[in-house]
A and B are shown apart, each in its own frame.
Chain A
């Protein structure tokens, strides 16, 4: 169960090697979390991540999960929930993809869309059903500021996050009053493996900062969290900027 400050005792991470998710898991383990499920494609990185969380005192189990294999989601995630209540589900898988390549090879663009959107729709709905039966829990969905307006430089990724963001908002409304809380997290540019080699955007942030914002959001039961908070007004302006002008911005 979550405590009065929204700190969970059990956590399920979808995308178990995500740096943001692991930074969040470390923070939550330092508080109350004792049971952590890391779901991801089996890999040494996944086992290593589990080992590091174990050394912090948590009981960690890994589970083979592939966002693209939506047919298996019910079975894989169903087994996790059958073992006990999950207080927080962190939906953290996603790929950035290469925009140039995606434009040249539509199949790679489809893969980005299927991972970031279709996979999340499937896993999100499967988890939502179990959380609903529990009568409590939070589903934290890692969206992106990039989903707020499609940009020339990464519109494939951005559009997948836009879809995910809209989906998560709608799911939050659908679950209102069921005891289940859906929180959409919209980080800006985060310095991680995923963005290595890219020029950091203004207001760039870190996985640790996102983790801190997620923990605070759980405490406040926020529905939307921007990281950093200053992105909220900035994106508010960018979203409503005329296209002719937006197109000319160096973004």
Chain B
């Protein structure tokens, strides 16, 4: 796992080591190769051997999407050049291993921001395309690849193709989990900003009905919107939540002192979470107390609060290696989406999670806008709920299988970049274009060069 602090240095010779996703479950061993040029990347693909290879960025995929047992894992963080910023057109051309954190450092002082940011800045551009990430602005801006003008893809035949939107290869690669090739570089359209601060409105929702009503009625007024939901609250309080919504602050919203350097980007960082924390630190009681405190701490209603960009978008990035707090048993993140009109399914699932008392303190609910063209892309119009659960919770596997059934029946899907446990039979139900995806892979990569634990597990 590469640390957010940066790669350890060039690794031209492969190292064999154990690899897991961010959730730290299901470790497997692979040969790690870190190409630092396009030629080295092409050579690595050619030399991958019988068990294939998969590109990996900063290891923030929760499950097994960026691991490849017995084969090669290409650490792409060595390809880290920001090659050109066009401040006229508002685009950036950069290598696939560049992180969104780095892009923010480069772009914010120039008055530009990334079009889509997930809950962490420590994802690479290649990973952002491969997972077709979404952010708090999905309801107005869509997912990451909808802002990608083109990318360079190293395919199984060793050739590099410039792939543009509207082509089958683009749509298969957007959210394609690295299984169509290795992304080497991308051109991304940016968003202009005047300041590096956010104006944030906070409000509490007393229960799930209240939350959905508020999101339905007023979400369109905000560029960014997300709700933290207390999944341990039961009874009348089921689904109580804190909504935080906002936009980039205009210059005149800043106090005089901050106006001197309105585009400064200084995210704070705490010391990392220690290694070797015990399992069960996040039990029902501790998480329940935290959730109650967090809910009550939030103001009933507050408008126009100025927050640092990092506080609003990436609160957890302040604690490096926060995934260690789940202990060595690790954790799974469960994220699904169901369409508008499926509120009953959403409610049933929230009630089941609440009744089961899953200790989840990072549960997030959001309203997605229309989905993009990616064949395996996750976001689609409707409601999405994401929650972290300790993997060691007894009976969690069958419980989540039950939720999968409800999601699939409602025409919804789970997020494959976060998955580590989906029943393979459900992939085709949830992703009707999975067959087209397999057919394209069979055509462009007949030897199965691009292989991951996820592709083996889900037969993709």
Using a CB–CB cutoff of 8 Å, the interface residues on chain A facing chain B are 1-7, 9, 31-32, 85, 133-136, 177-180, 219-220
Q: Which of A5, A9, A85 contacts B396 (CB 8 A)?
A: A5
Contact B457 A7 (CB under 8 A): no
Contact B420 A3 (CB under 8 A): yes
Apart from A135-B69, A179-B28, 13 more pairs, CB < 8 Å: A4-B23, A4-B63, A4-B330, A9-B424, A85-B69, A134-B51, A135-B29, A135-B51, A177-B17, A177-B29, A179-B18, A179-B30, A219-B391
Question: What 0/1 readout, one digit per residue, does chain B (7-42) give for beta carbons within 8 Å of chain A?
Answer: 000000000111000010111111000000000000
Per the bound structure, the CA–CA distance linking A9 and B30 in Å amounts to 20
Given contacts A177-B18, A177-B29, A219-B392, contact A3 B69 (CB under 8 A): no
Question: What 0/1 readout, one digit per residue, does chain B (387-414) give for beta carbons within 8 Å of chain A?
Answer: 0000110001110000000000000000
Per the bound structure, the CA–CA distance linking A6 and B391 in Å amounts to 10
Contacts of A4 in B (CB 8 A): 23, 25-26, 63, 330, 332, 391, 397, 420-421
Given contacts A7-B397, A220-B329, contact A2 B70 (CB under 8 A): no
List 16 A-B residue pairs with CB atoms under 8 Å apart, sorted by A's residue number: A1-B28, A1-B69, A1-B456, A1-B457, A3-B421, A3-B457, A4-B420, A4-B421, A5-B396, A6-B26, A133-B70, A135-B51, A135-B70, A136-B27, A136-B29, A220-B329
Contact B391 A5 (CB under 8 A): yes
Whole-angstrom distance from the CB of B216 to the nearest CB of chain A?
34
Contacts of B51 in A (CB 8 A): 134-135
Judge whether B230 is part of the interface by a CB distance below 8 angstroms.
no
Per the bound structure, the CA–CA distance linking A118 and B454 in Å amounts to 37
Contacts of A3 in B (CB 8 A): 26, 397, 420-421, 457
Judge whether B95 is part of the interface by a CB distance below 8 angstroms.
no
Whole-angstrom distance from the CB of B269 to the nearest CB of chain A?
28
Contact residues of B: prevailing secondary structure = loop
Q: Which of B29, B68, B397, B453 contacts A5 (CB 8 A)?
A: B397
Contacts of A180 in B (CB 8 A): 29
Question: What 0/1 readout, one digit per residue, does chain B (44-85) give for beta carbons within 8 Å of chain A?
Answer: 000000010000000000011000111100000000000000
Contacts of B454 in A (CB 8 A): 1
Given contacts A85-B456, A178-B29, contact A135 B392 (CB under 8 A): no
Contacts of B332 in A (CB 8 A): 4
Contacts of A134 in B (CB 8 A): 51, 69-70
Contact A1 B70 (CB under 8 A): no
Chain A residue, CB-CB nearest to B423: A32
Per the bound structure, the CA–CA distance linking A88 and B92 in Å amounts to 47
Q: Which of B26, B68, B329, B396 contacts A2 (CB 8 A)?
A: B26
Contacts of A31 in B (CB 8 A): 397-398
Contact A179 B457 (CB under 8 A): no
Contacts of B420 in A (CB 8 A): 3-4
Contacts of B63 in A (CB 8 A): 4
Per the bound structure, the CA–CA distance linking A4 and B62 in Å amounts to 10
Per the bound structure, the CA–CA distance linking A3 and B396 in Å amounts to 12
Per the bound structure, the CA–CA distance linking A177 and B330 in Å amounts to 18
Question: What 0/1 readout, one digit per residue, does chain B (357-391) give for beta carbons within 8 Å of chain A?
Answer: 00000000000000000000000000000000001
Chain B residue, CB-CB nearest to A179: B29
Whole-angstrom distance from the CB of A129 to the nearest CB of chain B?
12
